[in-house]
Structure formats: structure tokens, C-alpha cells
């Protein structure tokens, strides 16, 4: 394999495809945005066979991705210094030149409703509006995921009567008396409100003797 032409690059080396060149390929083919928290990211654009993936540039996942690119090109692993230099440059480029996105955890606002991250392997989300809901295979850039998050169960469509019953079904597993309609309604309204982003949310502070399932109630709502 011939060496790379260095006529236009005084700072290149003799390898046919260096980590520096891979960095340029990423800059040209991938979007390098930054988010509202503290990290720059790399986006893999979606297609019919792939999903949009948001990855922290300083994460282990992205370092392994860069290493894989070099291995496929040269069957050689990059050094730690080369990886660090490439990632630092990409991070600076993302923060200085990339578009900024606001990322949310699990729920995000929409102009006509809300988004709910399913956190599944297919990166899907649920769009909820006043007209109903739908599962979207390729949602916009909205969510930051954490390792502890579990995927949601895929929802099914039910009648309005069943929806009303399902909203309070959680209370069947608590010690709240069925005769206490006010408390039961307050609890239902509280945990339903947690699916609405960017509003003040009430806090539940259960009280009772030891063994009254106070912690169990909080765990159920979570």
C-alpha cells in the first residue's frame, strides 16, 4: 500500500491512514455538537439500518470506536497519546463550531406535547400530544442516557375507560386506603406530572409507622 501524499500537509507521517486523518474523516462525516451539560458529543447519523447515537467524545465507547477505525485501516492499535490528542481536538471543535443541543433525561418537551425516551436498543421515543401518542423510530436529538436506565415496556393502545383505570392501578400495590379518595387522587396526579418536563413538580413525603411501606411507595413511583 503506498504511503499518504504529504505534499499538502507538513505535519503528516508515513502511515497510510493515520489517526489524524481519521479525525478529519469524522469531522467531515459526523456532526460534532455539544450539549447543555458539559460534554461534547459525536453523532452517528441515522439510516434505514442504523439509529442516531449520541456518544460522549471522552467516553470509553468513543475511544474504542476510534481504535476500531485504525485497526480496520491498518491492523494496528493507536497509542494513548494519539487517542488523547485526537479526542481533545474533536472536543474543542465541537464546543467552538458545533451546534448546541439541550439534552433531557427520559422526558423532553415538544411544541405540541412531550417526548418520552424508551431507552431501548433501537433508540426509539414516544411522542405524546393532545391527539394521542405514537412510537417514533428516529426521534430528534433530545435525550442523554445513563447506564442505570432500563428500557420501557412498549405501550399498547387501550380505551379511555381502561386508561382511567390503568392510571390508578399502581395504587393497588400500596397501603393507601381505597376509601381515601383525596389522597389517592393526589398521588396519581403527582406521578403523572413527572412525565411533564419543565414545570414545578410536587414531592411525595409519605409518613407512617415502621413497616407501613413508605419506601415501597416511593420505589413504585420511581
Q: Which domain holds residue 127?
A: 104-151
Based on the fold, state whether residues 121 and 56 are members of the same structural domain: no
pLDDT in tens, 164-202: 888 888 888 888 888 999 999 999 999 999 999 999 999
Rg of the chain (C-alpha set): 24
d(CA 174, CA 185): 13
Would you report the helix, strand and coil content of the chain in percent, each value rounded to 5? 35, 15, 50
Within a domain: 5:
no
- 162 & 141 share domain: no
Distance CA 183, CA 66 (A): 54
Answer whether residue 9 is part of any domain: no
Residue 1 domain-assigned (yes or no): no
Domain boundary among 100, 115, 142: 100
Residues 188 and 220 in one domain: yes
The number of domains in the chain is 3
Question: 39-87, pLDDT tens digit by residue?
Answer: 555 555 444 456 677 888 888 888 998 899 889 988 888 889 989 998 9
pTM over 0.75: no
d(CA 16, CA 207): 68
pLDDT of residue 159 exceeding 60, the answer is yes
Tell whether 119 and 143 lie within a shared domain: yes
Amino acid at each position: 500500500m503506498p504511503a499518504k501524499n504529504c505534499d499538502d500537509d507538513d505535519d503528516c507521517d508515513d502511515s497510510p491512514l493515520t489517526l489524524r486523518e481519521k479525525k478529519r474523516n469524522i469531522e467531515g462525516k459526523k456532526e460534532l455538537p455539544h450539549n447543555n451539560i458539559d460534554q461534547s458529543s459525536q453523532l452517528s447519523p441515522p439510516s434505514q439500518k442504523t439509529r442516531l447515537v449520541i456518544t460522549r467524545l471522552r467516553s470509553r465507547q468513543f475511544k474504542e470506536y476510534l481504535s476500531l477505525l485504525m485497526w480496520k485501516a491498518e491492523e494496528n492499535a493507536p497509542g494513548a497519546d494519539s487517542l488523547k490528542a485526537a479526542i481533545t481536538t474533536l472536543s474543542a471543535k465541537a464546543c467552538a463550531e458545533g451546534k448546541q443541543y439541550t439534552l433531557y433525561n427520559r422526558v423532553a418537551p415538544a411544541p405540541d406535547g412531550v417526548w418520552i425516551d424508551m431507552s431501548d436498543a433501537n433508540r426509539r421515543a414516544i411522542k405524546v400530544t393532545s391527539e394521542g401518542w405514537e412510537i417514533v423510530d428516529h426521534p430528534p436529538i433530545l435525550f442523554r442516557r445513563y447506564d442505570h436506565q432500563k428500557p420501557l415496556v412498549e405501550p399498547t393502545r387501550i380505551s379511555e375507560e381502561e386508561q382511567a383505570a390503568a392510571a390508578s392501578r399502581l395504587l393497588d400495590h400500596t397501603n393507601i386506603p381505597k376509601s381515601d379518595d383525596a389522597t389517592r387522587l393526589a398521588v396519581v396526579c403527582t406521578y403523572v406530572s413527572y412525565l411533564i418536563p419543565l414545570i414545578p413538580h410536587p414531592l411525595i413525603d409519605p409518613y407512617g409507622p415502621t413497616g407501613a411501606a413508605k419506601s415501597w411507595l416511593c420505589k413504585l413511583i420511581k
